[in-house]
Chain A
Amino acid sequence: MTETAGQRHAVVDGVDVDAVAAAVRACPGVVGLTTGWAGGRATYLPGRRVDGVAVDADAVVVQVRGRWGVTARELAREVRAAVLPLAAGRRVDVVVADLEIPPPAGPDGRPDGRPNHTP
Chain B
Amino acid sequence: MTAVTGAGAGGPGQPAHEELGRLHIHDRVVEKIAARAAGEIAEAGSATPRVFGRSLPGAGRFGIRRADLDAAASASAYIEGSVTRIELSISVRWPASIPEVTAQVRDRVRTRVSDLTGLRVQEVGITVTDLVTDRAPGRRVR
A interface residue numbers (CB < 8 A to B): 1, 3, 19, 22-23, 25-26, 36, 59-60, 66, 69-73, 76-77, 80-82, 84-86, 91-99, 102, 105-106, 108-111, 113
Contact = CB atoms under 8 A, between A and B. Distances in A.
Contacts of A80: 11, 20-21
Contacts of B39: 105, 109
Interface in B7-33: 7-11, 19-26, 28-29, 32-33
A85 B6 contact: yes
Nearest to B8: A81
Interface residues of B, number: 34
Contacts of A22: 2, 4
| Most interface-central of B4, B20, B72, B115 (chain A CB within 10 A) | B4
Contact of A113 (B21, B23, B36, B118): B36
Given A109-B42, A113-B36, A113-B40, A71 B117 contact: yes
Contacts, number: 106
A84 B11 contact: yes
Q: Secondary structure at chain A's binding surface: helix, strand, loop or mixed?
A: mixed
8 contacts: A80-B11, A86-B4, A96-B23, A96-B29, A96-B117, A99-B28, A102-B32, A111-B40
A72 B4 contact: no
Contacts of B10: 77, 81
A95 B72 CA distance: 25
A26 B72 CA distance: 30
Contact of B4 (A82, A91, A92, A96): A82
